[in-house]
């Protein structure tokens, strides 16, 4: 579904990605591990089209994404890619349900139907009681589940997660990981997850390790 081809990226004199190649199949969970500074976030940003590589390309269902203009690329990102970060990045002034609805509204979904989708997701994530709470009124685990619900609201083709459990205790981390596998099993969702969590890496369908700007076991 997604093909990452020979991606290179430098920041000034620092070459962070030195030729990254791999494929992402639908309905699979890929875990990317590696030391801090290895280039994992840089790679995930490029996969999410948030930044451009210096060399190489990303084919999404056969189409080269960086050939799109900025407007098409923004629409593509909003529709096809769900992001989950280490810190939830929920908007503090909005409630849980409003945060989840937002990407759907941006995609042009009618308010009622965005709300229905958000409610369904809240229910699925055992968060129905928390719909009207603001992020500051939620626990860390709940905040991350809202962030995952937000990432899913537009039914993206792939969810890119950057250390999603990095800020959670082990129990909440486990619950979040279980959720990813549930979503894969039940709905055929596809995940690329950067993680330091060995349990998650072991459970994943493919575990890739990044070192010095390259993927080792690929």
Ligand X SMILES: Nc1ncnc2c1ncn2[C@@H]1O[C@H](COP(=O)(O)OP(=O)(O)O)[C@@H](O)[C@H]1O
> Is 160 near ligand X (CB under 6 A)?
no
The position carrying tokens 């990407």 is 103
In the region spanning residues 26 to 85, those forming contacts with Mg ion, defined by CB under 5 A, are: 41
Q: Which residue lies nearer to ligand X by CB, 48 or 135?
A: 48
> Is 88 near ligand X (CB under 6 A)?
no
Q: Which residue lies nearer to Mg ion by CB, 41 or 78?
A: 41
Question: Binding ligand X by CB under 6 A: which of 2, 4, 7, 16?
Answer: 16
The position carrying tokens 């979040």 is 176
Q: How far is the CB of 95 from ligand X (least distance, A)?
A: 31
**Which residues touch 156 (CB under 8 Å, ≥6 apart)?**
79, 80, 81, 82
What are the φ/ψ torsions at residue 82 (nearest 5 degrees)? -110, 135
d(CA 87, CA 208): 23
List the structure tokens of 190: 């596809």
Selection from ligand X, Mg ion, none that 103 binds (CB < 5 to 8 A by kind) is none
> Is 58 near ligand X (CB under 6 A)?
no
Q: Which residue lies nearer to ligand X by CB, 20 or 118?
A: 20
**Which residues touch 211 (CB under 8 Å, ≥6 apart)?**
34, 35, 38
Question: Binding ligand X by CB under 6 A: which of 34, 48, 82, 164?
Answer: 34
Q: Determine the number of helices (DSSP H) and then strands (DSSP E) in the chain.
A: 7, 10
Q: Which residue lies nearer to Mg ion by CB, 10 or 41?
A: 41
List the structure tokens of 133: 């709470």
> Is 38 near ligand X (CB under 6 A)?
yes
> Is 39 near ligand X (CB under 6 A)?
yes
Question: Binding ligand X by CB under 6 A: which of 29, 33, 42, 189?
Answer: 42
Q: How far apart are the first and last CA of the chain?
A: 17
DSSP 67: G
> Is 40 near ligand X (CB under 6 A)?
yes
> Is 13 near ligand X (CB under 6 A)?
no
List the structure tokens of 60: 């999404």
Q: Which residues pair with 58 in a beta bridge?
A: 4
Q: How far is the CB of 120 from Mg ion (least distance, A)?
A: 31
Binding site for Mg ion (CB under 5 A): 41
Binding site for ligand X (CB under 6 A): 11, 14, 16, 34, 36-42
């Amino acid at each position: 579904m997604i093909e990452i081809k020979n991606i290179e990226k430098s920041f000034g004199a620092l070459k962070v990605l030195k030729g990254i190649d791999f494929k992402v199949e639908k309905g699979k969970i890929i875990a990317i591990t590696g030391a801090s500074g290895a280039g994992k976030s840089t790679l995930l940003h490029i996969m999410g089209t948030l930044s451009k590589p210096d060399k190489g390309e990303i084919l999404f269902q056969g189409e080269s994404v960086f050939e799109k203009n900025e407007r098409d690329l923004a629409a593509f990102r909003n529709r096809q890619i769900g992001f989950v970060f280490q810190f939830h990045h929920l908007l503090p002034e909005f409630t849980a349900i409003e945060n989840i609805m937002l990407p759907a509204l941006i995609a042009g979904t009618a308010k009622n139907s965005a709300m229905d989708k958000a409610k369904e997701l809240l229910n699925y994530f055992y968060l129905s009681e928390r719909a009207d709470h603001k992020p500051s009124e939620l626990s860390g685990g709940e905040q991350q589940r809202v962030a995952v619900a937000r990432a899913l609201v537009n039914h993206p083709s792939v969810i890119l997660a950057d250390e999603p459990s990095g800020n959670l205790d082990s129990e909440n981390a486990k619950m979040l990981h279980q959720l990813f596998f549930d979503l894969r099993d039940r709905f055929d969702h596809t995940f690329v997850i950067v993680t330091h969590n060995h349990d998650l890496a072991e459970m994943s369908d493919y575990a890739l390790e990044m070192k010095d700007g390259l993927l080792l076991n690929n």
